[in-house]
Structure 1
């Protein structure tokens, strides 16, 4: 009887522990899908959402006034992840803001490799339509901007949190808040990148 107990502890218990943690990875290893289909970028230039892991933001008619948000996002989210395949940051602006965008790009380029920063322009109707397709509880202001940025996966799905401790459903991340970017968004970007890496490894193993 004693021998059976010892064998159980040595061989069965580790298996149970492994299965527990493995189920945890399956349950919590994916970032929730909050919107099944976000609008595409047709009419916004040559950028695209399909096949890319995108951080999507809206700078509106006065991108220069949102410089702090852009720099926060650059330091806390873009720089740690920009070398990952298919990762990009897309900022949507309104027509007539080209000079402000160029100034932003020039300032970023002094201390950042900006190869995966994209600035795209659309009409007010296009910008509002794209934002509405996110289906969030947020809104653009009168300048067609918002401080919130959003995680869009390769299938053009909005990813976020469905049980955030502060907000419940968390559709976007406040780029004015270093804490929100650093403590929440960075973790969620890590999760979605890991999710795609695991899927890629599985596909290679299945071949």
Structure 2
């Protein structure tokens, strides 16, 4: 029996959204399943998109990250100068149809290297109201939004590529404060854990 044919068409923005979802499935499989159905893609289709993405990343002829994103997502919706500490960079943003209020952002160094790649709130889109632990629901907020809402937040080392963590203190609905750790995939909140009460 001949092997199944691999798709040879271009890697599309739909495929890229499936890659984002694949990384999130470890934390929120139900949300990912719902999103996958919305996109009209099978489990095998999502697996294949991720296989092709990994092949692109590890190919000896792999493009530079910025070039790869332009080839997949097209020209960015916007390009903004950004200063981080003493360093100047450029932020390129693309729409993500699955999350209309978010944008996929890469931070580009002057030498063309990509410093960061993740989901951020779209310019002009309303930020979520984050006041208590109960507001921190999966997919409700981005890294920078949680860090601002519960400052001072401390970065935590991610458990895998494309994952980030934050440690902070937040009140629950009754006003009692807790030490918390939030996990993010591609910059989007996945889950929040509570390690203890704070005085």
Q: Give 1 or 2: higher strand fraction.
A: 2
TM-score between the two structures when normalised by the length of structure 1: 0.26
Bigger-Rg structure (1/2):
1
TM-score between the two structures when normalised by the length of structure 2: 0.27
Q: Which structure's relative contact order is higher, taking Cα pairs within 8 Å and 6+ residues apart?
A: 1
Q: Give 1 or 2: higher helix fraction.
A: 1
